[in-house]
Amino acid sequence: MRFHNLSLFLLGSQIASTSAFAPQTVQNARSSLYATNPQQNVVDTIESIDATVKGALSGMALAAALWTAPALMAGTMDQFPSVASNDAFSTSIASAKEMASGSGTRVNKDPESLLRYGLPIKNKEVRDLQKSIEDIKINVSSKRKSAALDDLKKARGIINTKESKMTASCRDAKVCSDILASMKSDLEPLEGTLRASVDYQSGSDQERKALDDSYLTQDKIQKKLTTLEEQMIPAGYQTPVPSDYDDLPQLKGRATVEMVVKKTGGEKFDIEGQLFNEAKMKMIIDGYAAPVTSGNFVDLVQKGFYTDMDIQRSDGFVVQTGDPKGEADGYVGTPSKSVGAGKHGERLIPLEIFPKGDKGPFYETTIEDEGRGGEATVLPFSSYGAMGWAREEYDPNTGSSQFFWLLFDSDLTPAGKNVLDGRYPVFGYVVEGADFLRDVKEGDIIASAKVTEGAENLVQPK
């Protein structure tokens, strides 16, 4: 279906008139975002307008493109993905609910942090510890050394004074005590390299090395933090899923998928001037936040469905794949009784949305259709490489096997002003190798896709 520029602009204007698309200053807007879209003149216009209104028009064009022209943006693909931002460090209340548009000004773009916040645990002390440890990383990255040392002091204080309250939430208190002791021990060399960086001349090789060493030690500590928080998940916990979907694969926990993408003709991936023979990515697939969507993906990976499949879309906004050769738009297999099959026998899955604060996801409808527009979801589209499930624009239950990686751009999708959360599910993040997505192009080939951890968490249909 074709849409004229007028209808595109009008719909964009309606969306832009809401509080979720209030004017924001945007710099360096990507002119290539709509390169495959005939409505290019909308973006051309944005580039020529004063910076004070760029944010509003960027939101208009993005929203209009998402809602009105999926086929045009996706080229020959019929399904369009489904970004959101969520500040994990500060919250606000709007209409007595946690709203995505009220989540603060600092966007949490760290996929591992978002996954930690997505764990089904309730322990204030460990969340305070998480904030302090993650703030060290933020401050090291921006060379705020004194602030990083303050955060380290806070983290050490929490471990010293709140250990019993944290271990009380663990399945095995001793395991958690050992993890906390190890984290506390790692804080000592971290403090040493941070203090050394303060003494070195700004911009010197010595300062750079000290900060690099600090960054590596902090990463070691935060991985132990993840293990600590995973120990706080109640024994036997499973995200509740209606029995209607028992005939679909479900992921009861998390899994790790590693994928290798190669270019044809011996070409190499160029990442900021460094050349690579292949793109290796590690993804955490989250069955706590999206058990049906994640289960469907892991099942297809195990079946080898994505191996040797080409990348079918790369437009500066998303990288997308999952459309098999032939007339079918997705994986052809035994359909669910509740959702049914696609027009060519595709196994379809329901739209799955998990708002923050709920006990589990709701299905087959968007967050707006539920009358809850603007609420935050457990996993947001606020990280580069966030993984979302594609579907047809107007039917929530048409997802089958097509998925996408979002190339998150905080200029075009600032905090709380996205149009994807609650309309498409986030089912995982790229935690290693996300930079390769910058040079993954249409026609590149998925050489391999394997489940390397958590395969035992996949539950096949009854």
Q: How far apart are CA 344 and CA 335, in angstroms?
A: 11
CA 204 and chain centroid, separation: 35
pLDDT in tens, the chain (462 residues): 222 232 232 233 232 322 222 222 222 322 222 223 333 333 333 333 333 334 444 444 444 444 333 333 333 334 444 323 333 322 222 222 334 433 345 789 999 999 999 999 999 999 999 999 999 999 999 999 999 999 999 999 999 999 999 999 999 999 999 999 999 999 999 999 999 999 999 999 999 999 999 999 999 999 999 999 999 999 999 999 999 999 999 999 999 999 999 999 989 999 999 999 999 999 999 999 999 999 999 999 999 999 999 999 999 999 999 999 999 999 999 999 999 999 999 999 999 999 999 999 999 999 999 999 888 999 999 999 999 999 998 999 999 999 999 997 665 555 455 679 999 999 999 999 999 999 999 999 999 999 999 999 999 997
Query: C-alpha angle 219/283/341, rounded to 5°?
Result: 155
Give the CA distances from residue 208 to residues 168, 194, 202, 205, 218, in Å, rounded to whole numbers and listed in that order.
40, 11, 9, 5, 15
For residue 227, give both structure tokens. Answer: 């293990």
The Cα 259–Cα 443 span in angstroms is 16
Token pair for 38: 């005939």
Q: What is the pLDDT of residue 399?
A: 97
CA 428 – CA 359 distance, rounded (Å): 19
Domain 243-459: state its class: mainly beta
- The pTM (predicted TM-score) of the whole model is 0.80
Distances in whole angstroms, Cα of residue 355 to Cα of each of 5, 93, 291, 296, 378: 34, 14, 14, 20, 6
Is residue 447 within 8 Å of residue 308, measured between CB atoms?
yes
CATH topology of domain 121-230: Four Helix Bundle (Hemerythrin (Met), subunit A) (1.20.120)
Type of residue numbered 433: G
| CA separation for the pair 101, 115 (Å, rounded) | 20
Domain boundaries, the chain: 5-73, 121-230, 243-459
What's the pLDDT tens digit per position in 111-164? 999 999 999 999 999 999 999 999 999 999 999 999 999 999 999 999 999 999
The tokens for 161 are 């004074």
Distance CA 428, CA 291 (A): 11
Q: Give the Cβ contact number of residue 269 at 10 Å.
A: 22
Token digits of residue 109: 């773009």
For residue range 50-71, list pLDDT tens digits in order: 333 344 444 444 444 443 333 3
Q: Which residues pair with 332 in a beta bridge?
A: 346
Can you give the pLDDT at residue 412?
A: 55
Distance CA 248, CA 315 (A): 32
Nearest to 20 by CA among 455, 441, 367, 459: 367
In the prediction, which pLDDT does 410 show? 63
Q: What is the pLDDT of residue 107?
A: 83
